[in-house]
Structures are given as C-alpha cells and as structure tokens.
Chain A
Amino acid sequence: MSKTIMVVDDSSSIRQVVSITLKGAGYEVIEACDGKDALAKLTGQKVHLIVSDVNMPNMDGISLVREVKQLPQYKFTPIMMLTTESGASKKEEGKKAGARAWLVKPFQPPALLSAVAKLA
C-alpha cells in the first residue's frame, strides 16, 4: 500500500509541484491550503508524513506542528517544513515545536523525495 503524505501550502503552484513530485514517486497526496485546513483534513486516516509551509494565512506551519502534536492519533506523524525561511531562529522554533526536518525552497524534486523517503 502506498504511503500517504499531506502537503500544506498556501501557494497553489507550490502545492501542485510538490504533489506531482510525490505522486510521481508513488505516494498518495492530501492537499491543504493552510494550517487550519490541514487540521480539518486530518480526519482519522493514516498519514505517514506532513510536508508543510511555514508562512501561511489563518494558521502558520509552526502552529500547525504544535496542534498536530496535540492530536493523539497524529502526534507521532513526522512533519517536515518546506519553506523559503532559512533563518536559524525559525528553524529552532520549528524544531522546538516538533518538526522533524527542514527543507528550503526552492527545492529540487530529487532532494524533496530523498528527504521524504527518510521520514515517511
């Protein structure tokens, strides 16, 4: 059975690229447009990895990580941040919240896939 990855980004074009890359590698993809949307879409199904942007309206990526860690069913789901932010303080904040990896945009699809393969 293929693994399911949730992709959270407010940029529809980025979502599209990530989805196409992941689907091409055989993953199932659930898309969400911000943190709130992502939480609403975590409805009990098995999710192997969440790939999330940081800077988003409604709920940003780091708050999403904190929220997900509160959900009994998803608290162990690894979360990778995929963002243009590369500042150490942001990374530190993400790590403290419980994110497991940090990939900086723009990314190369192979880099995304290898990072995903490590976590999912």
Chain B
Amino acid sequence: MSIEDTFREEADELLIDLEAAMLELEEQPDDADCVDRAFRAMHTIKGSGAMFGFDKLAAFTHHLENAFDLVRSGDLKITKELISISLDSGDHIRDLLEVKESNSDIDQASQQLLDRLKLLVGTESDNGSNSLNDADVIIEQDDATSEDIKTYRINIKPDENSFANGMDPLPILRELNDLGICNVTACTDELPEFDKYDAEKCYLSWEIILSTDQVLNSIEDVFIFVDDDWKITIEQIDESDNASSVTEYNCHVEHQDEHINLPEKIDSKNDDLAILVDKQTIPETLPIKKKSKKQKTKEVVNVKVPAEKLDSLMDLVGELVIAQARLNQSAGVLHDSALTNIAEDMERLSSELRDNTLGLRMLPIGTTFSRFRRLVRDLSNDLGKQIELVTEGGETELDKTVIDKLSDPLIHLIRNSIDHGIETPEVRKASGKSEKGTVLLTAVHSESNVIVTIKDDGSGLDAEAIREKAIERGVITLDSTPTPQDLYNLIFDAGFSTAKEVSNISGRGVGMDVVKRSIEDLRGKVSINSVPGEGSTVTIVLPLTLAIIEGLLISVSKENYVIPLTIVEECIELTKQEVMQANGKQLIEVRGELVPYLRLRECFSNDSDNPDIEQIIIVKNGSSRFGFTVDEVIGQHQTVIKGLGKMYEGIHGVAGATILGSGDVAIILDAPALIELAVTDNNTMH
C-alpha cells in the first residue's frame, strides 16, 4: 500500500469521525468535545494532505479548520448551516481525495462551499476572512517568487553564558544563510584581554545583512527557540535606510554595501506587517465550557495491520488445522499413547489459535451504524419527515468482510424504512402516533450468529397490495392462500416493488432481491415481518465468520461431505422397514412430527446402493426441519472453507470444499439451498 493510500484511508476514517461529531453537535451544539474532534479531524486532513501533494484539499480544509477554530474560541456559533456546510464539505473532501489535479467542476464545488462558509463566518466575525487569506500564505510558501526580495539587518548578541548552556549560535547563522543571501560580520569588540579571557563565555556578537524572499515571520522563526537572554534585533532596510535607529552594540560594518545589492524599492513591507497583525488578532481563549463529566477516552491501543496479512494468517491457521487433523488421524491409527497426547494438545492449541485469529478479524458493527446516522438525517430532510435513528448493540463484533459487505444492504433497508415505512408527520399525527418516527437498528449475538434487525414504527407492509402484485406478476396463483408472513417475504423476489411512484430514494424494484442475494452470499438469511399500522421489522441472521466453521463430517459411499454443525439438530437412523412403511414418500416421523428428507446419494447422482440402515441428519430450516440421508456420520470436524474456484462458482447447494486430515476433499453442503432446490423440483414435478 502506498503512503498516499495510507493517507486516503486515514482521511476516510477522519471524515467519518467528523461526520459523527457534526451529527452529535446537531443535537448538542455546546459540546466542546465534539468541536475539538471536528477541528482535529480537519487539522490532520489538512496537514497530511499538504504533505502528500493534495494541495487543493489542504487549502479547502484549511478554511473549514479555521471556522472551527473560531467556534473553539467562541467567535462563531454552531448553527444548522455550519453543520450542513461541514457535512457537505466532508463529502467534497472525499471527492478531492480522488482527484489531485485541477478540475473545473471540483474547483467550482470548492468555491461554492467556501462562499457559503464565508457568508457564515463573515457575518459573525471579521477574523474569519482574514484567516482565509492567511491560508494561502501557508500553502503557497514554496511558490514565493523572487520578485519581492527584501533586505534585513539582523543583530545577534548571544547571552554570555550560552556556550556553557550548550547553545551553539552556528546553526542559527546557518539557518539564516539558508533563507537567502547573507553577509555575516562578527563583532569582536567585547573580547577581553587574554589573561581575563574565560573560554566558556561568549563574547561575540554578529551583524547579518540578509536579502531574502521570505517574510519577516520566517526570519523570526529562526530565533524563536533561542534563549530569552539573547539580544536580537531584526529591521528591514530600505533605500533611505532611516529605520536603522537601533544600534545596541558597537559593530564593525565595513563591507555592507559592497556585497549586497539593496532592492530599489520595497513595496510589500506593509503586507508583511499585515500578516503579523492578523495573527495577533486571533483570539486565544476558549470560552466554550469544557465538559465537566468524565471524558471517555479511547484507551485501547491499536495496531494497524493490512487486511492481506490477516488473510494469509487465516490461511495458515487453516492449513495448521488441516495438518492437525492429519496428526489426529495418524495418532489414532498408530495407537501410540504418547503421540495421541501430543495430538490432543495440538488440537486444543490449534482450536484456540483458530478462535484468536478469527477474533482478530472481528470489528464492532457500530462503525457501520454510525455512517447511517448521516443517511437518516439527509433522507428525512429530503422527504420532510422527522426520523430518529436509534442503534443498539453497536459493540457486537462481526468479521470485517461481513461488515464491509453488509453496509450496502443495510443502507437499502434503512432507505426503504424511511421512504415507504415511516409516514409524514401529518399522517402520523392523524393516526395518533408521535410526529417523530423511529428507525431502530440493533445487533445481537445468538450462538454462532449475529442477528441484525431494522425496525421502524411506520405504517407496516400492505399484505393485500403485495398479494395483488404477486398475482399480477404470476408469483402466486389466484387461489393460493399464503400467510401474511409469506406475502411479506415476497418483497425479496426480483422485480417486486409496491411503491406506486418511483422516487429517487427507493421503489425501483431492484434492491430487495439484491439485498437478499448479498446477504445470502454472506451465508446469511433475511426475512421481514410486519404489523399493519405499527411498522415492519427486517431480520438478518449472519454467520460470525466466513473462514472456518465447525462442521459435521458425513459420508455417502466413500464420498465425504460437511454440513455446518450450527444448523444440525440431531442424527437418527432410517431403516429399510421405515422407508417401506412410508409408501415411497420421503418422510420420516420424528417424535410425532413428519419431517421430509432428501437422499444425498440422489442429490449427487451417486450410483451405489443404499445401505440397509441409513442415517438421517435433521437440520433446522428456518422454523421447519428437514433431513438428509447419508451412509455414515463420521463426526465433528473443524472445517476450513476453501473456495471451489471459478469453474464451480455458483453451483447450487455447495458452499465450498475442505481438505480432510487424510488429504481427501470433502464438499461443504449449503443445506438451505439444497432444500430449496428439492422443494422447487418437487413443485415442478407435480
């Protein structure tokens, strides 16, 4: 990753922070912490941006930073417009991060935002506009042209004890020399007689005539870190040279005019003074009250690691788990108790290592949640609705890949809730609800899953409208009687949208099926429930991780398969007698309940004969149960999921493959997809 990319990533994080701070400020405009956070975010973006050649970005951000500096000093109030400008500017900075070169569209956008800002800052305080000019000086420091060369006379008289204090005047002379053409004259007047001479004392002083294009400030900067006891005078000399009234020490200045060409006329002297004045007028006090309650600081020290490194660590752990399985197998075959002991230790360690490594990839889902607050704010403003986003369980951890891929589906679902679900304030009031609608976003752990729900208190889904639409589209027949629950979930079908008008927010009918597919790609499930008049709840169930799962290893005539253990409920026997009693129907009675089953042998067209006694693996399928018959249940297996490669991508019913201890390959079954396949086959057959 290049440094530029590092910067982009860093800026992105800072922008998220800025956005969060803005949204908090919208609710609590007096929060000094938030102002600080926003200021710091912009300060860092500006500083780093300038460092990596994002000059436009740096210049733009500088104005914003200044505005927040004014807020910090109490000269500017947090207003809705300022927050709005800041949020828009955040978006604009994202654009600037992509484009380094000049581009008229972007420049225009920058200017528009700055004009808005100027309007705001200008009316509140004059300092604002002054600071804006100051920005250009900082950014364009390197581009200063030689047109305005000025000449200064600088007298330096170090403190007598400065040698003893370890202060060496030489670096300062060198630094001055770097600023321009320098003529240095040493004054030796104060050197005592040799017998009175103290080698540790500094008796020297210097007069320097410096011709430079740098502003007075940069000369002063050279001296800012010398002791207060030094006597320093800096004066600009122009043609008439009547400013040189300061003569503190007796110096021999003999060659001044021979070496230096004094500029004929110095016009810009006043500009320099103006800059100094500006700086002095910037207020330094911070009248905003600091929060008295204990500030929560993030004490967690983080180490940033590139995602690829984590991936390769994960791969290695996967390989280790496979090697460990082989060790287990060999130890079992050899009946060597010492080896078995080691194998058991290894098993314990490798499963701990696996869990720890998986933990490394886990991130709190709250990072995604915070992005949605902005979305909700903007959308509700656009639609004239009052909506509050409430989030719970932001600390719930999920695999980073899952979080990244979850963002788009969640955005879509939240948009749907806002656009279709929650009513306008008038409608809400008329139906006796509070004017402000709520979208509740929650995440909780449940076994090896994370359940994310999006709940709104809007109007709920219209089952009848869905039914009509489904019949019109031929998804269901006129005489079928699906439950409301089934009807609601039809909205996840491709091309299904009940919105009468297509708005720019949602309602194009693409989306819900895409949402469903992206969640299924994450081995997750999505469903919706709704109560008319009270709102809808979308529930997403996601696996914790995508890399290693606990599986149940089974075999069908020497071929191995793995079923994710999390969905397995029980294993029971199926005798030939039971099969005969069912009269050809593939159903088995499990404690009073009839459960349909599927022969894996038939699924995978294996020609061998069924054994006399088969095993049925009963799996959960939503609220119902389903069985798969197999020849043998081998046992629990730590399954490292490997892709099947491009050739076998998208095969229904297969989630991947894994390598067993023996080196054999086992297919990982995607049970829900197999069940769906069986159900559709069954429907088409009849």
Q: How far is the CA of A16 from the CA of B10 in the complex (A)?
A: 12
Which of B220-228, B231-239, B251-259, B341-349 is the interface stretch? B220-228
Residues A16-43 near B (CB distance < 8 A): 16-17, 20, 37
Closest residue of chain A to B1 (Cβ to Cβ) is A16
Within 8 A of B (CB), among A84-118: 84, 86-89, 91-92, 95, 99-102, 104-107, 118
Please give, as numbers and ranges, the residues of chain B lying within 8 Å of A107 by CB-CB distance.
Answer: 51
Q: How far is the CA of A12 from the CA of B10 in the complex (A)?
A: 7
Q: Is the CB of A91 within 8 A of B221?
A: yes
A71 to nearest B CB, angstroms?
A: 19
Q: Is there an interface contact between B52 and A13, defined as CB atoms closer than 8 Å?
A: yes
B50 and A105: CB pair below 8 A?
Answer: yes
Q: Which of B43, B224, B301 contacts A55 (CB 8 A)?
A: B43
Is B434 on the interface with A (CB-CB < 8 A)?
no
CB pair B279 A37 closer than 8 Å = no
A-B contact count (CB 8 A): 76
Q: How far is the CB of B314 from chain A (nearest CB, A)?
A: 23
Whether A12 contacts B6 in the complex (CB less than 8 A), given A88-B279, A89-B279, comes out as yes
CB pair B225 A88 closer than 8 Å: no
Distance, CA A89 to CA B279, complexed state (A):
8
Residues facing A in B208-267 (CB within 8 A) are: 217, 220-221, 224-225
Q: Which residue of A lies closest to B282 (CB)?
A: A87
CA distance A104 to B46 in the complex (A): 13
Question: Does the CB pair A86–B138 fall under 8 Å?
Answer: yes
Tell me whether A11 is interfacial, beta carbon within 8 Å. yes
In the assembled complex, the Cα of A88 lies from the Cα of B221 at a distance in Å of 8
Q: In this complex, which of B6, B52, B58 has the most chain A Cβ atoms within 10 angstroms of its Cβ?
A: B6
| Docked-complex contact A58 and B297, CB < 8 angstroms | yes
In the complex, residue of chain A having the shortest beta-carbon distance to the beta carbon of B52: A13
Q: Which of A28-74 contact B (CB under 8 A)?
A: 37, 53, 55-58
Q: How far, in whole Å, are A80 and B10 apart by their CA atoms in the complex?
A: 24
B6, closest chain A residue (CB) = A13
Contact status of A89 and B284, CB under 8 A, knowing A99-B225, A102-B221: yes
Give the number of residues in B that approach A within 8 Å (Cβ atoms).
30
Chain A residues, CB < 8 A from B220 = 88
Question: Can you list, as one digit per residue, whether each of B9-50 has a CB less than 8 Å from chain A (1) or not (0)?
Answer: 010000000000000000000000000010010011011101
Tell me the complex Cα distance, A87–B10, Å: 26
Contact B225 A14 (CB under 8 A): no
Interface string of B297-340 (1 = CB under 8 A from A): 10001001000000000000000000000000000000000000
Residues of B near A106 (CB, < 8 A) are 47, 50-51, 58
A86 neighbours in B (Cβ, 8 Å): 138, 217, 221
- Interface check B203, CB cutoff 8 A: no
Task: Determine if B432 is an interface residue (Cβ-Cβ < 8 Å).
Answer: no
Return chain B residues, CB-CB under 8 Å to A37.
301
Complex: A104 Cα to B6 Cα, angstroms: 21
Interface pair B224/A91, CB less than 8 Å apart:
yes
Contact with A along B171-200 (1 / 0, CB 8 A): 100000000000000000000000000000
Min CB gap A57→B, angstroms: 6
Query: Is there an interface contact between B3 and A13, defined as CB atoms closer than 8 Å?
Result: yes
6 tightest CB-CB pairs across the interface, nearest first?
A: A13-B7, A84-B47, A106-B50, A106-B51, A13-B6, A11-B48
- Sample of 11 more A-B contacts, CB < 8 Å, known A101-B225, A102-B224: A13-B6, A13-B48, A16-B3, A56-B40, A88-B217, A88-B279, A95-B224, A100-B225, A102-B221, A102-B225, A105-B51
| Interface residue ranges, A against B (CB under 8 Å) | 10-14, 16-17, 20, 37, 53, 55-58, 83-84, 86-89, 91-92, 95, 99-102, 104-107, 118
Which B residues contact A (CB, under 8 angstroms)? 3, 6-7, 10, 37, 40, 43-44, 46-48, 50-52, 58, 138, 171, 217, 220-221, 224-225, 276, 279-280, 282, 284, 297, 301, 304
